[in-house]
Chain A
Amino acid sequence: MSSHLRQMLLVMSVGIVALLLPAPVRAQDETPPSPTITITESTEDGEHLLIATVMLDGEPLEGVEVIFSAVRSFGLLELGSEETFDDGTAAVTFPEGLPGDAQGRFDVQASVEESDDYGASSGTASFHSDVSVAPVRQMFPEALWSPRPLWPLVAVIGVLLAGVWSTYGVVVVHLLKIHRKESPS
């Protein structure tokens, strides 16, 4: 039996043994269940509020700190935090004047951190702002970061390169004609 074949058999047997071995017993999944969070807006006593309701297995969760954040372009902007009451609700003042998108919409996230009794969780809901920011329409979009080259750029580079290389081509044709004139003699 060649050494090459012996090596192959050895590798195969090691593989088979590894497959037959019982899988290591996984540690029991000890992750506690995560609560669900819903966010609404409401006006109470003349105050415009964002209200998060935290429920665990259908029951309100009391005494949990809820962090409210607005979702912005480059991360979360914290709006405030509050512990839930016995009905599972926590509230912060609605962020008046926070700019939304072109339609005036912005997202709010409410999150809770994990504890011994429950896992971390978050919920997101969309709200309407009084301030909308329409994207700036640029006459000349920033070329470098555009996903594909702008056609005027392609056209200019293409025409310039084609013009120069075709001129080289004309010169090469002249040289080839000089070469061919000599060949018969």
Chain B
Amino acid sequence: MKPIEHTIRGRIAGEVVETMRPFTPRGQFWIGTLIVIALWGAFAYAWQLYKGLVVTSMRDYVSWGTYMSNFVFFIGISHAGTLISAILRVTHAEWRRPITRMAEAITIFALVVGASMVIIDMGRPDRIMNVIIHARLQSPILWDVCSITTYLAGSLLYLYVAMIPDMALMATVAEKRNLRPWRVKLYKMLSIGFVPTPDQIRRLDISLATMAVIIIPVAVSVHTVVSWVFSMTLRPGWHSTIFGPYFVIGAIYSGTAAIIFAMALFQKAYHLEKYLTREHFHKLGLLLLALSIIYIYFTLCEYLTAWYGGVSVEQRLVQLLMGAGRYGPLFLAMALSGLFLPPLLIGLPGRWKFQRLITAAVLVNIVMWLKRHLIIVPTMETPYIPATAAQQHPAYFPSWVELSITFAAFAVFALLYMFFSKVFPILSITEIAEPLEEITAGHETGTDDRTTIMVEGAVS
């Protein structure tokens, strides 16, 4: 039997271990910056707990603001991972292999940060258990609690099942390379004694296939239920039958953009050009292009129906969003830079295609946060009985507490993701190695000479 370092898996693992080395001074600077932002956010939350929700800009009319925008945004990008990874796995898209782990990890951390936004939005988080104790199954809020919990559990299980062979491999590699003992212990524990015997491989394949199939409807249901929290209420702009699919497409759109951005960061930071090739970016770019067109279609359906129907309250909302109202410029910026510019950046031929794709991905993520904000806040400012009847002029702008917590949420998400990449292999070693091993086996039995070049090129 070959020593591990001479196998394809061992050689890939050796390269992936390099990404798990301690942070460089530049990395430490970024970690430090993110920790400072997160701590400032923690202080802001402590202040909110001490003073109450009065330190936010949320009041009677606008009772959902930035926290809920963050919630919908993070739940949206959580679709990046599990859903895209599962769809590609189920359809046996071979190019998925280097990106699945990154995508699945995005799901976990986005869900954790997103779900915590709901608790932060609560005036009395100490009463969180009342949601369970006095549960009302009639309420879409409880459906949301059930679906997000189910999705988080499923995503964790899915990520873990796919990681088991890598954990077994990493336990051996960590021992050989004299990595820290806690790593060896951790990898051994998480490998649950997996040995690639035919029976264990069969069980693992069944588990992975089962999770890949079940997680797709669960992921779709999660964002549908998130949309129902809005659309089940009789409010202008929310009470819409297309909100479910509109939110799901929006989630996959922002999720795909998040993966592209994460891939670009890892490729640049760890020089993973061999694994994260232009081909991967090209294919995800095409997916993003298709999603952007679908999202434009849904947005058009949503607002055209509201405007054409002529219901007065819907007209007021459309006027607020697209007229000369407070949100007009924001809506215009969202439409131009988030809906129409990304497909042009991706689709037009010419130079700088890679740079244009990354720019489009960043734009999509920024604008999709803005879009969620434009879904939530203007509707809350447009009740059926005009607020002016009560001499009220609701105009929401997030307070320093809300802004601090929002920036902290993004910082915590980035920190969790970075620490994950330092503890676990960010590339799925086994999945990358499998086709190469099959090709090598074919070559050894004399099936194809060209494979030698491919395999050597891939693992050397």
Contact = CB atoms under 8 A, between A and B. Distances in A.
B203 interface: yes
Contacts of A98: none
A44 B157 CA distance: 83
Interface string A135-176: 000000001111001100110010011001101101110110
Given A171-B210, A174-B207, A177-B203, A146 B138 contact: yes
Interface string B192-221: 111101011001101100110010001001
A153 B232 CA distance: 15
A178 interface: yes
Interface string A30-48: 0000000000000000000
A149 B134 CA distance: 13
Nearest to A172: B157
A57 interface: no
B150 A164 contact: yes
Contacts of B204: 174, 178
Interface string B140-172: 000100100010011001000100100000000
B137 interface: yes
B447 interface: no
Given A164-B150, A181-B200, A171 B218 contact: no
B233 to A, nearest CB: 9
Main secondary structure, interface of B, reads helix
A183 interface: yes
A181 B201 CA distance: 12
B193 A181 contact: yes
A98 B211 CA distance: 63
A149 B138 contact: yes
Contacts of A145: 138
B402 to A, nearest CB: 28
Nearest to A147: B138
A161 B150 contact: yes
B137 A149 contact: yes
B185 interface: no
B207 A182 contact: no
Interface residues of A, number: 26
Contacts of B200: 178, 181
A29 B283 CA distance: 88
Given A172-B157, A177-B203, A178-B203, A144 B138 contact: yes
A171 B157 contact: yes
B210 to A, nearest CB: 6
B138 A164 contact: no
A179 interface: yes
Interface centre among B203, B204, B206 (most CB of A within 10 A): B203
B139 interface: yes
Given A144-B232, A165-B150, A171 B207 contact: yes
B193 A182 contact: yes
B239 interface: no
B271 interface: no
Contacts of A175: 161, 164, 192, 203, 207
B146 A171 contact: no
B195 A182 contact: yes
B136 interface: yes
B137 A157 contact: yes
A165 B152 CA distance: 12
A153 B210 contact: no
Contacts of B146: 157, 161
B416 to A, nearest CB: 23
A141 B193 CA distance: 54
A168 B206 contact: no
Nearest to B221: A160
Interface in B251-277: none
Contacts of B207: 171, 174-175
A144 B142 CA distance: 11
Contacts of B193: 178-179, 181-183
Nearest to A184: B193
Among A146, A154, A167, A168, find the residue whose CB has the most chain B CB atoms closer than 10 A. A168
Contacts of B139: 144
Contact of A157 (B143, B194, B214, B218): B143
A150 B137 CA distance: 9
A171 B192 contact: no
A179 B168 CA distance: 12
Contacts of B136: 149
Contacts of B164: 175, 178
25 contacts: A144-B138, A149-B136, A154-B137, A160-B221, A161-B146, A164-B150, A164-B214, A164-B218, A165-B150, A167-B210, A167-B214, A168-B157, A168-B214, A171-B157, A172-B157, A174-B206, A175-B164, A175-B192, A175-B203, A177-B203, A178-B164, A178-B200, A181-B193, A182-B193, A182-B195
Given A144-B138, A182-B195, 13 more contacts: A143-B138, A144-B232, A145-B138, A149-B137, A153-B138, A157-B146, A164-B214, A167-B214, A168-B157, A171-B157, A175-B192, A181-B200, A182-B192
